[in-house]
Structure 1
């Protein structure tokens, strides 16, 4: 095999490995141009304040003036009064990052001057107007080893096309003779200082802020969500996309998920500032995590049944379907223990979220000694659908259970007709289990949001294999 053939083979192998090891996200965040524009407004307001606090150095030098000779000058106590950035635009650049362009910016400053030539010394004040400032900033987005986003400024340029300085005092006319020298020096200083301040603001302000994106979100004492980036954020022509792991996990023991997320076919929808794509993988890892954490085990006793439900959970009631109960365990209270053999598998499609859970129902008689006597084990299946919404930055939901089906898996009290018991089990699950589940779902699960971001104008849509949430955002300043 020739060297060229070897190179082609190695290239093909590398491509295949890259394709097979690529990680699809379980959760996607898309910031549209409208969202980027809003973020830019907030960032520009902060940058404007930072630039207004620029500290400029004193300037001194010598200049030769016609018919006067060498003049030594000093400019000191330079004070920046205003720095305005009236026009700016942010643009996503594919495979590069974000570019912020600022045009027609202007600033005003003042200071003191001193002059010395021949045997003459004098001093006064001056005003400086800086106009037509153009600033271009390139922002590169990445991720660190923990999956948190990073941001840097690989390139910044500032260009000032117009500087006007006006000196006052008895010898102000003299400074005005060589103002071009001073204006040139001030222009260079300002251009350098502006980009220094931009780089510092990106590092100290923007970098700190975007790292408030939660890599993990603790749900309760058993479950967390992994929102770490699986790849650096990528810019397209119309948006900025962030691919997150989007995986629930048990805090006590995190085991590998036995399946991988499928690709998300994100629609080209740009009505909202931000979109969240929660894949079926995201929801199904929740089922696995809660099952592994032992959180899908529920017990039902008579004390848990609402008072408005005329139902007694005892052997006398169930003896109508199982006559031998009255002989073996007469008029004894009962308890049901509900558990899932495996985590429920959810399906996300255009019709919504649905699943068909399998629930084991173990019935016990509570003996006078408070010990439990196993009675029978039922298997319950049914059609369950979910209603999803967003409230206070959290995904909230509720479940609706359709017709349930029962089968007998084991019995210590002989055989009986399970079908006759179906209505009682339906009352038990709808009056006790379902309200508990819906109360937990109403608490919600946090979305991956930066600090002090509030969502509004919520949109909820279902697509094949993922749930799409859209929203407009508002930044809530402290205080």
Structure 2
């Protein structure tokens, strides 16, 4: 992994201009510094692969006349990059600069002069004061994933110091100057061909981006750009779609994301803002998929509970049930009738859900006889947390209101069922829901990415994740 790992965050791909994002990402200077540290190892490794071509030529050297020379079999021994910087250029992009670098190499030399005299040996070469400067461009490839490349590159070799071994020492000084110049030119060309290669080597890793990430059998979430990155002197800010869809069917919900902004932050490398639009698009998808429904039978009620799902228990509150359907087990169907609505307020996440509870008596031949339909209004509070590379949650019941929708057994007081329905929600429905919520949904990732020292805040209309990041492998 390298500094360019961070550039994934600058190119989350296909752009749909003019749409507010559901998710915002802020990459800080601290994050770029971590990327720079990782990147230097990659650049250093790449520079060690420099293949300096054999150099040969002919020069007139006083007083012996023409000297034919060649330098061959040049191999890099060491590369040092003691000083480097990765800078944000407002409204432009990212600039990488390396200074005071050095390269050491070894090779063989051979000369011929006066047409018949030959000499040869080996040499050590030290290149000092090497500077490299390049601008990094980010674009979308043909698959809709990010690709990085160098927009320009400049390399300057400060000085070249060569030490010859073997042969006549008086001869070295005669052709040392023009060999120094030839080596200097050759190295400058090689360096500025390898730096783009080092940046491009990241592209296979960028192709691992989960631009569309599957959540479960019902849903996937899309992380694509809705506008170009905003580059300031202190951060790179990204606007991502952050929208849930049914798998295989991308249907837009009847609501749109509202604008929101992440506040300035400097403590962590990365900040991710998730708006209520993202959460509500999930609710829309699961409701459309019919996933927000649950059949409840007596075996799902704890054995210790005195309340059972049978006509005897319900007959205590609604006598006509016991009279018309004596000694039968019952089944409840709890389902939403419209998309739940999620709100974010400081330190508070609330879900409002409207649904129905339909009660059935189970006949001996397994036929279901409807008893009544209740309208159900519930409010739950959610706790949201990070689990690995996923955003997960758990809910608790705040309140519940019941009204009678349809009765097939005559009139009765709905309030008499409050305790039963509250128990069913608390011990069956909500635990089942929390099992699913604990699985979470994936955050945008590349490669072997790990979140470190993560904090989550719920704010007005969005939640914000502040985190450091580590890459391995």
TM-score category of the 2 structures, normalised to the smaller one: over 0.9
Alignment match, 1:36: 32
Alignment match, 1:377: 373
TM-score by length of structure 1 reads 0.93
CA RMSD in angstroms, aligned pairs only: 1.5
2:419 aligned residue (414, 420, 423): 423
CA drift at 1:99: 0.6
Secondary structure of 1:357 counterpart: strand
Sort the Cα spacing of 1:53 and 1:146 in 2 relative to 1 into closer, same or farther, 3 A: closer
TM-score by length of structure 2 reads 0.94
Mapped partners of 1:463, 1:141: distance in 2: 32
Sort the Cα spacing of 1:395 and 1:237 in 2 relative to 1 into closer, same or farther, 3 A: same
Alignment match, 1:107: 103
8 Å contact from structure 2 (residues 82, 99) kept in 1: yes
Alignment match, 1:156: 153
Alignment match, 1:194: 191
Alignment match, 1:404: 400
Secondary structure of 1:356 counterpart: strand
Sort the Cα spacing of 1:172 and 1:329 in 2 relative to 1 into closer, same or farther, 3 A: farther
Alignment match, 1:295: 291
Give yes or no for the alignment of 1:170 onto 2:167: yes
CA drift at 1:232: 3.4
What per-residue deviation string (whole Å, max 9, x for no partner) do you get for residues 425-479 of structure 1? 01111101111111111111111012111001111112221110011111112xx
1:61 aligned residue (46, 57, 61): 57
8 Å contact from structure 1 (residues 222, 252) kept in 2: no
What per-residue deviation string (whole Å, max 9, x for no partner) do you get for residues 8-63 of structure 1? xxxxxxxxxxxx96111111121111111111211221111111111111000011
Alignment match, 1:17: none
Alignment match, 2:267: 271
What per-residue deviation string (whole Å, max 9, x for no partner) do you get for residues 205-252 of structure 1? 222223322110001121100112223333221112222110011114
Sort the Cα spacing of 1:252 and 1:414 in 2 relative to 1 into closer, same or farther, 3 A: farther
Moved over 4 A (4+): 144-147
8 Å contact from structure 1 (residues 359, 380) kept in 2: yes
Sort the Cα spacing of 1:338 and 1:472 in 2 relative to 1 into closer, same or farther, 3 A: same
* Aligned pairs for 1:198-213 within 5 A: 198-203=195-200, 205-213=201-209
What per-residue deviation string (whole Å, max 9, x for no partner) do you get for residues 109-162 of structure 1? 010011100121111000000111111110122334654223221111111111
Alignment match, 2:240: 244
Give yes or no for the alignment of 1:321 onto 2:317: yes
Secondary structure of 1:319 counterpart: helix
8 Å contact from structure 1 (residues 148, 229) kept in 2: no
Greater Cα shift, 230-239 or 280-289: 230-239
Give yes or no for the alignment of 1:52 onto 2:54: no
Secondary structure of 2:403 counterpart: strand
- Name the count of aligned residue pairs: 457
Return 5+ residue gaps in structure 2 as ranges: 1-15
2:391 aligned residue (380, 385, 395): 395
**Which of 1 and 2 has higher RCO (CA within 8 Å, sep 6+)?**
2
8 Å contact from structure 1 (residues 62, 71) kept in 2: yes
Sort the Cα spacing of 1:217 and 1:404 in 2 relative to 1 into closer, same or farther, 3 A: same
